[in-house]
Amino acid sequence: IITVKLSGKQFDNAFNYFISRFNCEVRYINDKYANLLYRIAQRLDEKQMNIVLNYCMDKLNDKNEHQNTRIKCIQSLKSISNKCNEQQLNEAFNSLMDIFNDGNNDEDVRKECAELLGTIAVNLNGKHFDDAFQCFTNGLKDNKENVRKSCAKSLVTLSKKWNDKQLDITFQCLIDGFQNKNGYDKYISRDLLEAMKLNETQIDSVFTCNSEWNCEFYSQSIGYVSMKLNKKQLDDVFECLNGLEDENECIRTLCGKSLETVSTKLNDKQLDRVFNAFLYGLIDTNKQNRVSCAKSLGVISGKLNEKQLENAINTLIDGLKDEDINTRNSCAKSLGAISTNLTDKQLEGVFNALPDEQESNYFYSYFEAFEEISTKWNERQSEKGFNALIF
């Protein structure tokens, strides 16, 4: 913080000191001088920028340098890339491409190179952008998983500037990956699917290559585009999952990311399957699943029939006794969310079930539920709630 506020010669001296102490050979240990260099990067003048750029590129191009030093140099370059001029970006781009394309380089170095190339290429046009795009689509078939993931991430970075041909090429890579064709990886395709904005025709094409997928993987992948599915596609998905041993888990995976939108497209039978999947999830041994399922019950509560709503209330009330505080909080919040749909009798039951210990911290964990429910409290309930919160 002090260094950032230095002026003139003091700043120059500090900068030169950081450069002289740049040493990052110990894996997993942050190098304090390199980290400080990141923080002052935006104050560097043109001369200092050239010093950092040349220093980092020399270290990066030296295969005899320790891999962690090379990685730290890449990260330093990323921190100053937005201040580089076009010539500097071009020079860095060409060196990074050579390093990435040399399969003999360290996997982590190539991984970091791919991500920095994406950061730089999105600010370049013409041949450099096209070369980066080709590099990343080829990298989706790399024999190193971390490199493949970084290439997928960088492709998404470039996606805002794709032309129609590049979109088509990437989509074909995605489909090939789901079919395990041409050296592409279905897990990388799943990551691309999450990030890509597909049209209805493209989404339909994804459905044609699902015959050999693991159903849980299929549900997770389709879940990324579930908000865009039409009713026929949803029917096909639910038919695929029908009767599976892990049907509830697959349904939660499918609907979890866009439940509110998907639920408007479901018929009564499908909604009941979704409701039961989240209801049973509240007794899952995984506490994170219980938290998520409690929240989801609140999301779809407005679409439930009387019997489903009663079951949801009782299950969420039981969840208030869960050993996990996050699950209890999630249940309380969902009870608050559904309070406007409750009868006076149901509301009385919910209110009585909320813990009434005089511990302010305990009650504040249910603040959102109280805030929602209090709009319908009678005088006695309001007095009890008020006393609970002030003592």
What would the pLDDT profile of 16-28 be if each residue is shown by its tens digit?
666 666 665 555 4
pLDDT for 362 equals 31
Please state, in angstroms and rounded to a whole number, the distance separating the CA atoms of residues 347 and 354: 11
pLDDT of 72 above 90: no
- Cβ(111)–Cβ(142) below 8 Å: no
Residue 117 lies in a domain: no
* 143: DSSP letter: S
Mean pLDDT of the chain: 78
What would the pLDDT profile of 134-187 be if each residue is shown by its tens digit?
999 999 999 898 999 999 999 988 888 888 898 888 888 888 887 778 888 888
Residue type, 79: S
Q: Check residue 180 and give left, alpha or beta (phi > 0: left; psi -120 to 50: alpha).
A: left
Residue 321 lies in a domain: yes
pLDDT of 2 above 60: no
151 or 353, which is more confident: 151
Residue 181 lies in a domain: no
337 or 224, which is more confident: 337
Residue type, 115: E
Residue 377 lies in a domain: yes
pLDDT for 291 equals 92
> How many CA within 13 A on the CB side of residue 87?
4
Residue 133 lies in a domain: no
pLDDT of 360 above 60: no
Residue 317 lies in a domain: yes
Domain extent for 313: 304-391
Residue 308 lies in a domain: yes
pLDDT for 232 equals 78
* Tally of domains in the chain: 1
pLDDT of 358 above 50: no
pLDDT of 310 above 50: yes
CB count, 10 Å around CB of 10? 12
Radius of gyration of the chain (CA): 27
Residue 13 lies in a domain: no
